[in-house]
Each structure stands twice: as structure tokens, then as C-alpha cells.
Structure 1
Amino acid sequence: MDALGPNGPFRSRERLTISDVAGAPMAELSLVPRLFVHRAMAALRKAETMPAEERLAALARAAEAFEHGAPAGIPTDEYTHLVSRMSGMPISVVRSAARGIARSVAGAGHDAGCARPMAAVESWRDPATREGRAVWTRRAEVFAVHAAGNHPGVHSLWPEALALGYRVAVRPSRREPLTPYRLITALRDAGFGDDQVVLLPTDRTVADDILRAADLSMAYGGDEVVHKYAHDGTVLPQGPGRSKILVSGGDWRPHLDMIVDSVADEGGTACVNTTAVYVEGDPTPLAEALAERLAAIPSLPPEDEGAVLPTQPVQTARAVEKYLLDHAGDATPRLGGDGIVDPLPGGGAVLRPAVFQVDRPDAPQTGIELGFPCVWVAPWSAKDGAGPLRDTLVLTAITEDARLVDRLVDDPSISNVYLGDHPTYWMRPDVPHDSYLGEFLMRTKAVIRD
């Protein structure tokens, strides 16, 4: 996989070997030096923005090619198999993500427009500006993305920046760079110039240069990324989800399917997967039932049609297991207390589910989020209120307490609130995931003309 620079593909002398979950080499990724990054970012800055109609038409063509064609010479079936072996994601999840990316790319113009204020128009040419009107316009010109490799779906969002007229630079994850490589190739084949969207694989010493050279950026990562950019208004950090479920004032049994799915869907790798369940009353029966259901999931290679759980190289899996057991503390293991690594005969290891029960709602373990189905079950009561439920990307609340719902919806640290039997992984492109990206990329300005 070459870098995709402003003058076309670039094969560097420094390359990174990308292996599958069993350690077998699959590809080489060109890593570009600092000088290449700065020249590429300068080229994006000098480039002219494509007209809106051309951008939207090119996005539609790219979406079709990504889902049904062979960008970079890689047909879709081969692409999904390669990503499954490379990332350890179940192939059914990769296929679903590929369809989701195509849908998001095709609808990027519409979805980006969902953030536009109702009182604003899209262009100064709109007749409404003759009487004075707000016009929705870009805050800047060049947008950069430090992408994650935990799930291909992270590449569903940034094409909205292209739809809005930004030139875009993507630094791919070294774990799974194939999705952005194939997507950016499709975008270029569809009509976006080489100076409109670039792929800049780098080592860690050069990565920050991409963000510094851009006007605005989005960076995926853990708590360290959130803290690093918390006070930088030009960077939008995308950190852990710590999504949660609250079961209050009713029987949890009718909702068990939803809870299990919320924990295990997408292989438990996404920020919208549930990592903590709070139960009013005794949480033990729910924790035991959840453990029983999750224990029944089979261990299969990621390319197997029946695979549900993620796979990693054995050494990586052992490191995850050690972290979990070292940090479980006084939590009671209901599943996974003896370990979560299940080696496969063909190489690699499945990360088996883990269920741990804690004895108080503010237990620090409930903030641990790992890239497989791992959930902490905690007690909760009305006197605990919204406090333990804060700092959450998605909160599914099964409750009849309208005053509690008011507090949850009003809490700025809770990004999304789903009421009733709705899994935490529910998403739709026109509904904000963690606010609309357009809220970050765009602004309004007043225009009045003769």
C-alpha cells in the first residue's frame, strides 16, 4: 500500500509490514517522512475547492465503487476477507461496515447538512440573502484525521468534510490501513483530485505534524488523546465511549437480548458497545444471566461466517488479558476471571467475553473499556442519580422516571440518551453520533446583498 500524495501514489523507502492475526505478512505500508507530509499539506492548502455539485456526484460514484467495485484492484469480497484477517474483526462485521461506509459516503452531503441551522442558507447566492440571511460556511479549508483501526466504520464520518468542501488528509491506523487506502482510491477514481484528499501513513514521530499543518483535525484514541487535545479548539478528540445501560424500576429479563447485543455486537470493539450495566436492586441475577449468554458464543477465526468475537495475535491478546485481570481488583468475576484468551489452531487468539460484578455504582472498574465484549455490572438506586452514569457516549435508560431522564438529557457529559429497549450501538447517519461533525467544521455568517 503506497501513500497517496498530492502527486499520486508514493512508495517510500521506509515501509511497515502489516501482518494478519496469526503473524503472517499480508502487506507493506509506505511510511512517509516529515518533508513529504509538509509538502502534501501545503498542496492541499493551495488547491481550489471543487464545486458542490461535482463533489456530491463524485461521492456518489465513490460509494458505488467502494461497495461493489474494485478500487486499488481489490474487489469487495477480497477486501472484506483481508480486513478481517488483518484486524481480527469478524467478517460479518467488516461486511456490514463496508455497506455502512458506502451509505455514508453516498449520503455525505445530506448528512453533513443535518447540522445546518434552520435559519441559515447554504450559499450567498440564495435569494434569501437579498433581505439579509445567515449563510452556512466553512470555518477553514484543510481537515486532517488521525484514524483508529479498531473498526472500519470510523471512516464513515470524515467524508462529510469532503462534501462540505474541505480538502482532507487521513493518517491511517497502522493496524488496519486498507479501508482508508481503498476508500481514498475510490474517491480519486470518482473525480476528487490528488490535491483534494490524501493518505499519509507515518510513524508516531511525524503524526502530529499532520494535525499542526491542518486548520482543523479529528483524532481518535484513548484517554491520553482526549487529555492531550482537550483545550485545543482546532482538534476534535474521539475518545473512549464508555457506553452504559441503566435498568431501573422494572424487570431486566425482557431486555436481556438487547443487553447481550449491546455488549457483543461488532465484536465488542466499538465505542458504542456497552461496557457497564447498572441495575436497580440486586445486580447478581442479571450478571449471571449475561455471563451465561456470552459464554455460549463460539471461538472462531475472524473469516468464519459464524464469527462473533474479535481475534488478535496471541501476544497482543495476552497483554489485554493481563491488563484486565490486573485492573479487575475486588470485582467478582462472573465470566473471564480465569482468562479471556482462546488460541486458535491456525494462529491468533480469540478474545473471549468477560463479565465482572462490582459492589457500588462508583466503582472505578466501570470506567475500563477494552476492545472485546467486556462488561461491568453494578448496583444503582435512585439516590445515586445521574452521577455514576456520566461521561458516556451512549446511555440506554430503561426507566419511567421522567425527572431522571431530564437530568440525563441535560447532562453535557452524556452524548446520547436512548430510552427503552434500544441497544447502545443503534446509529443512523442523519442522527448525531457524538454531535454532528458539521457543528465543528462549519459556522454561520451574515450576508445581505442588493
Structure 2
Amino acid sequence: MPAAEPYPLDALGPQGPYRARNRETVTDTAGRTVAELGLVPRLFVTRALTALRRATPLPRERRLTALARAARVFREEEVHGLTYEAYERTVARVSGIPLPAVRSAADEIADSARRALAGAYGALPGGAVLDWQDARTRTGSAVWTRRGEVLAVNAAGNHPAPHALWLEALALGYRIAIRPSRREPFTPHRLVAALRTAGFADDHVVLLPTDHAVADEVLTGADLSLVYGGDDVVRRYAADPDVLVQGPGRAKILVTAGADWRAHLDTMVDSIAHHGGMKCVNATAVLVEGDPAPVARALAERLAALPSLPAEDEKAGLPVQPVERARTLERHLLARAEGTTAHLGGAGVVDELVGEGAVLRPAVFEVPHLSGDWHTVELPFPCVWVAPWSRSDGTAPLGDSLVLGVLTGDELDDTDAELIDELVADRTIRNVHVGDHPTHWMDRSVPHDGYLGEFLMHSKTVIRG
């Protein structure tokens, strides 16, 4: 039988789908061709962003209705010839993200579409109103309004879940331009198509795949931008107030001397390995006030039991990558781990699957001290650095963390309370989870890396007669 034609991932422009001449092959973890992604030229990007800026957003209630309908379309219906089941298996096959994690991320995206304002309005100042016609502006009131009209999103490719976030901007009336990752373009393509089916106009949300030479045009042509990337991306945009960078997570867990760590072992393992260890909220370091070796041994024993399975398997829990990419990550890991004690993964983490790429298996390394910065290394699979920590080290080694989990005794004593005061006050720690809560815990009504609305909106005074 002839091989199936590659699935066409066309750009979704302000006047509908656009079949670009410049096309890039999208392959699965075994190197087989799955799709062709159309890459749009610079002029197309410029014209698309102009169209978005000229467009009038839907009224608020119509936006919410369309978002709720888009959740159903995305999660349940056939979109551009792909059923939901075909979509989730294709994402797992191409990205190597375990199928259960893809399914969970899709649920998160659908939930965000249904409840987008729950997150967006979390940033609403208590003294502000949403409309200048609100009765309170007659005597003077703050009005919460957009900082711009067009938001560009340079999307992440390591996981589908971040696509849940920018839906809040759409709920607030922004028009959205998505530059999809070429590693996993299926989720944004399906989501943009679902939003259009649900009632958003073609000039309200667009998908603009580009090559690297044109990528900056998407960001500079928008009013505000949301960018995902590593430390190099953080450094590049750190000083730009119109760019919000979502960088490495470096989530950590602190086990204080008063904690019974054995009682929290399930939570620690879950924090490390949830969704294949591929998310920014997965724990990559465990700091122990005392001897780290027993903790490292226990984590290694539990993580070693995870099976090596193809990403499309219903029981998959570890990421799969092309063999060459997996070997590159393995070499980087082993070079970085010099000087540590390997409890798991010291001989390598690559487990090749016949004809299906390679599983990246968990790794657990015990580090002798914090000055080597091993505990800051973040990799896209379950890899954890277990380190000694003492009160004399202070809170600096715990900083630069998207999430910090803190395990203490059942009753907080004064010294633990003082420590948590310091951690909550530390602006380099974005979330603090005290007690038996995994680092990946999130809720739509509370901030993840701050509220997106803090970046998108501002308040201005309106008074009228």
C-alpha cells in the first residue's frame, strides 16, 4: 500500500488557511515523515499583524461563549480532518510526550478555554472596574484596560499545556498571533482552528509558522509578546517591558530537618516524574537539611521502576526522543554530573526502542555541596539532583525557582515560620508550596508565573459627569 500523504499544517492567516510554498517536514521520534508545516514569509507576517490590529474584538459575553464552544470543538470534534484521538496520538508520536500527559494537557487547555476569565480577572485590581460606562466612573474610578491590541506568542514545543495561558489574553479582547514550535505544531494549529470554528474571526487569532529569520518579525510587529525559551531567551528579552518571558522552571523541594521525608516520598516522586518530567514545574532538585543519601536512594528506587514504553502507549510515563537527540542529552547529563554520586542513571539514561526512538529514563544524582551549581541543571526528563542544605546556606540556593516545595514537621516551629517568611518574600521564587503539595499543582484562579493579566493590562482613571 502507498504511504499516507503528510498531513498539511497550513498557516492560518487573517483571510483563512494559507498554503505556503516554503514547507518543512515534521517527523516523529523514529524519523518518519508525519506532516508538512508551511512557513510564511515576512510580508505575510506584516500584513497579518496589521489585520489583527485593525480588527474589533468580540463583545465580552460573545468572547466567553466562543471560548466555551472552542473547548468542546478542541476536545471532542474533528478539526481539519483530525479526530481528537488522532490528534493526541500524533502529538505523542511526534513530540515524544507520553500519551497520558498529552491527554491531560488537552484537558487543561479545554478547561482554560471554559474558565479563561477566572485566571485573567485574578489580576484585576480591587479598586478598578472593567468598563468606563460603569456607574462608579461618575465620581472617578480606575478602569482596567488593555496595554495593547495584539499579543504575539512564540510558543513552546516541550509540552502542549502552555497553550492554555494565552487564551486569557483572547478573553480580555486581545487579538493573538501564534508562532508555533516546529517540534509540536499540532496543538496550536488545532486550537486556532477550533477558536475560529467557535466564532472568533480569522483576523482575531492567527497561526504564523516561520523560519528563524522571520520569527522576530512576529514579536516586534505585535504590541506585546509572550516568549518561551531557555536562559539565552531570558537574557535577550529581560530588559524589554513589552516581552514576557517564560523561561526555565528550576522547581525545587526543600526537606527540613523536622520533616518525615518518607511520608512525603510519593509527593516528591510525583513532583519529579509527573508528565514525564518535561514541564517547567517538575522538581529538578531536592535539598535536604541533613544527610541527602537516604533520600536519593529512595527516589532512585522508586523512579527506576518506571517502564520504558513508546510515547503512544496508554501506560507511557517517560519521554521519547529521536536516538541522536537522546544521546546528545545523555552526554550533556553525564558531563555535568562529574563529581557527583550516581544513584540512578550513572551509566546512561537512553533506552532505545526498536524503530521508535529512545526513552529518556530517570536519573538521580547526589551532589556533595551546593557551590557546584549542579542543583540548577534542568533537563527535559525526570532528572533530580539531591543536595545537602543547612540554615547557614541561607535562602540563596533555593532561589531562581518557579516553584519551591517546602516539607517541614507537622507543626511549624518559629524557625520554620521565619524561613517561609523569607521564601515568600524572595522575588526570585514565584510559588511556594508548604506541605504535601506536588510542585506541579496549579489552579486557574491563582497565578502560575504571576498573573498574565498583570502584564497585559493596566489601570487608568476615568471620571465623567
Task: Give yes or no for the alignment of 1:64 onto 2:72.
Answer: yes
In structure 2, the partner of 1:260 is 269
TM-superposition CA deviations, 1:330-349 (whole Å, max 9, x none): 11111111110000023200
Structure 2 unaligned regions, length at least 5: 1-8
Task: Give yes or no for the alignment of 1:377 onto 2:386.
Answer: yes
Alignment-mate amino acid for residue 259 of structure 1: M
Aligned residue pairs total: 450
Runs of 4 or more above 4 Å deviation: none
Q: How does 1:277-292 map to 2 (within 5 A)?
A: 277-292=286-301
Q: In structure 1, how many angstroms separate the alpha carbons of the residues matched to 2:335 and 2:384?
A: 16
Whether the 8 Å CA contact 1:278–1:361 is kept in 2: the answer is no
Partner-residue secondary structure (3-state), 1:355: strand
TM-superposition CA deviations, 1:15-59 (whole Å, max 9, x none): 111111111111000001111111111111111122111111111
In structure 1, the partner of 2:307 is 298
- Which of 129, 145, 168 lines up with 2:176 in the alignment? 168
- Which of 416, 422, 434 lines up with 1:407 in the alignment? 422
CA drift of 1:71 comes to 2.0
Q: In structure 1, how many angstroms separate the alpha carbons of the residues matched to 2:246 and 2:77?
A: 30
CA drift of 1:382 comes to 1.3
Q: In structure 1, how many angstroms separate the alpha carbons of the residues matched to 2:374 and 2:226?
A: 28
In structure 1, the partner of 2:355 is 346
Q: In structure 1, how many angstroms separate the alpha carbons of the residues matched to 2:388 and 2:195?
A: 49
Q: In structure 2, how many angstroms separate the alpha carbons of the residues matched to 1:396 and 1:104?
A: 25
Alignment-mate amino acid for residue 418 of structure 1: H
In structure 2, the partner of 1:398 is 407
Q: In structure 2, how many angstroms separate the alpha carbons of the residues matched to 1:72 and 1:369?
A: 36
Q: In structure 2, how many angstroms separate the alpha carbons of the residues matched to 1:171 and 1:331?
A: 40
Shifted more, 322-331 versus 22-31: the winner is 322-331
Whether the 8 Å CA contact 2:118–2:444 is kept in 1: the answer is no
TM-superposition CA deviations, 1:77-126 (whole Å, max 9, x none): 11111111011011111111111100001111232111101111111111
In structure 2, the partner of 1:363 is 372
TM-superposition CA deviations, 1:284-303 (whole Å, max 9, x none): 01101101110110100011
Whether the 8 Å CA contact 1:104–1:157 is kept in 2: the answer is yes
In structure 2, the partner of 1:431 is 446
Name the TM-score, length of structure 2 as normaliser.
0.96
Q: How does 1:38-437 map to 2 (within 5 A)?
A: 38-249=46-257, 250-399=259-408, 400=412, 401-437=416-452
Give % identity: 61
Partner-residue secondary structure (3-state), 2:430: strand
Partner-residue secondary structure (3-state), 2:450: coil
CA drift of 1:195 comes to 0.7
Partner-residue secondary structure (3-state), 1:291: helix
Alignment-mate amino acid for residue 429 of structure 2: I
Partner-residue secondary structure (3-state), 2:402: strand
Alignment-mate amino acid for residue 49 of structure 2: M
In structure 2, the partner of 1:445 is 460
Q: In structure 2, how many angstroms separate the alpha carbons of the residues matched to 1:347 and 1:102?
A: 30
Whether the 8 Å CA contact 2:119–2:447 is kept in 1: the answer is no
CA drift of 1:387 comes to 1.2
Q: In structure 1, how many angstroms separate the alpha carbons of the residues matched to 2:167 and 2:371?
A: 38
Q: In structure 1, how many angstroms separate the alpha carbons of the residues matched to 2:54 and 2:268?
A: 50
Alignment-mate amino acid for residue 321 of structure 2: Q
User: Alignment RMSD, CA only?
Assistant: 0.8
Alignment-mate amino acid for residue 356 of structure 1: F
Partner-residue secondary structure (3-state), 1:392: coil
In structure 1, the partner of 2:41 is 33
Partner-residue secondary structure (3-state), 1:300: coil
Q: In structure 1, how many angstroms separate the alpha carbons of the residues matched to 2:369 and 2:142?
A: 50
Structure 1 unaligned regions, length at least 5: none
Partner-residue secondary structure (3-state), 2:326: helix
Q: In structure 2, how many angstroms separate the alpha carbons of the residues matched to 1:224 and 1:20?
A: 27
Whether the 8 Å CA contact 1:71–1:183 is kept in 2: the answer is no
Whether the 8 Å CA contact 1:44–1:196 is kept in 2: the answer is yes
Q: In structure 2, how many angstroms separate the alpha carbons of the residues matched to 1:109 and 1:66?
A: 18
Name the TM-score, length of structure 1 as normaliser.
0.99
CA drift of 1:448 comes to 1.1
